[in-house]
Amino acid sequence: MMVTKQGGNKGLLWLVAAAVVVVVFAGSSGIAAAQAVGLKKGFYKKSCPKAEEIAQRVVWNRVAGNPELAAKFLRMFFHDCFVRGCDASVLLDSASNTAEKNAAPNLSLAGFEVIEEVKAAVERECPGVVSCADILALAARDSVSFQYRRKLWEVETGRRDGTVSSDQEALADIPTPTSTFPTLLANFSAKGLGLQDLVVLSGGHTIGIGHCNLFSSRLFNFTGKNNPSDIDPSLNPSYARFLQGQCRRNLQDPNDNSTVVAMDPGSSLSFDSHYFVNLRARQGMFTSDATLLTDGRAAALVDKLQDPGVFLDHFKNSIKRMGQIGVLTGGSGQIRKRCNAVNS
């Protein structure tokens, strides 16, 4: 565990949910409101008025040459907020390889160099003003928004950077792809998020890829009876056969992580509601996707979120709530000079 300077109380999080049936757990709205104190739209309007413009320019330039960055930044933001809150602790390096980014769930994160590029550009304009936590929040929004050439949601700013990053906390706090619905629901409820957020933010899986080793247990010998063709019955049979063909290496070595598959077939670079169409057709890649259909309330939301307008409208609200988790504001934390290291 790496500890330097100040810590801070923070939260967790990850994927999240939708509209119409608004299920908020007791006290959750109060938690979110308390955590959001100090955040506001246009926080840098006076102290660094070009900050968001600079961040968007750098991110859009990079995403234009590498569209896969949108999924990478969105996932990075989820994983940052889920462990210690949205404090950029996922960006910190550790000489002993014990920071969050060294934990198994984070080994496939990418795009750190672009975050540093944004930070350097903003520092040249306004030294010591804009936090890495806010830069990551902006990068997630701007990368996903690039295909639409407009901002899909407003980002509240005013976060400060944490000084603690632990691989063990990441292992403990990031839900696994095998998480069941009750487990996911309990995790999000504890952090001020509800069932609605769980379903909506799961829609982030409309972009990006999944490693075969994270879901191959659904494809081969599912019941443990030594039958290689034994698949998870909750999977669409034709989709299961497709995945088996893509992940054949994992029949011999379940831990092989060299093969990846698009999480949203036919739409893996487009941020849209297609994930929910596939999910309803029993084409959710991970157990944590498929499990959304095991709860009546969540399944009803899946149906409604197949509408692109409904999905985008609710996503902007859920990711705003996610971005409020465990934030450091005011005199807490620091403004790092570089995003991968605490200030000396």
pTM: 0.89
Domain membership flag for residue 22: no
The phi, psi pair for 182, rounded to 5°, reads -60, -40
Provide the domain count of the chain.
1
If we measure between CA atoms, which residue out of 13, 4, 53 comes closest to residue 318? 13
Predicted local confidence at residue 22, as pLDDT: 29
Which H/E stretch holds residue 165? Answer: strand 164-165
Which of 79, 211, 274, 314 is flagged as catalytic?
A: 79
Ligand-binding annotation for 89, yes or no, is yes
CATH of the domain at 319: 1.10.520.10
Domain membership flag for residue 343: no
Ligand-binding annotation for 307, yes or no, is no
Give pLDDT tens digits along the chain (344 positions). Answer: 443 333 333 333 333 332 222 233 333 444 554 557 899 999 999 999 999 999 999 999 999 999 999 999 999 999 999 999 999 999 999 999 999 999 999 999 999 999 999 999 999 999 999 999 999 999 999 999 999 999 999 999 999 999 999 999 999 999 889 999 999 999 898 888 999 999 999 999 999 999 999 999 999 989 888 777 789 999 999 999 999 999 999 888 888 889 999 999 888 999 999 999 999 999 999 999 999 999 999 999 999 999 999 999 999 999 999 999 999 999 999 999 999 999 98
Predicted local confidence at residue 288, as pLDDT: 97
Residue 328 · residue 10 · CB < 8 Å:
yes
Domain membership flag for residue 338: no
Residue 200 · residue 16 · CB < 8 Å:
yes
Predicted local confidence at residue 190, as pLDDT: 82
Q: Report the distance separating Cα 87 and Cα 137, nearest Å.
A: 10
Ligand-binding annotation for 161, yes or no, is no
Residue 137 · residue 155 · CB < 8 Å:
yes
Residue 15 · residue 328 · CB < 8 Å:
no
- Domain residue limits at 112: 40-208+263-323
Q: Which residues pair with 278 in a beta bridge?
A: none
Strands of 225-266, DSSP E: 260-262
Ligand-binding annotation for 67, yes or no, is no
What is the residue whose two structure tokens read 């859009």? 60
Ligand-binding annotation for 272, yes or no, is yes
Domain membership flag for residue 204: yes
Predicted local confidence at residue 228, as pLDDT: 72
Judge whether 274 counts as a catalytic residue: no
Q: Report the distance separating Cα 18 and Cα 21, nearest Å.
A: 8
Domain membership flag for residue 339: no
The secondary structure of the chain in percent helix, strand, coil, rounded to multiples of 5, reads: 50, 5, 45
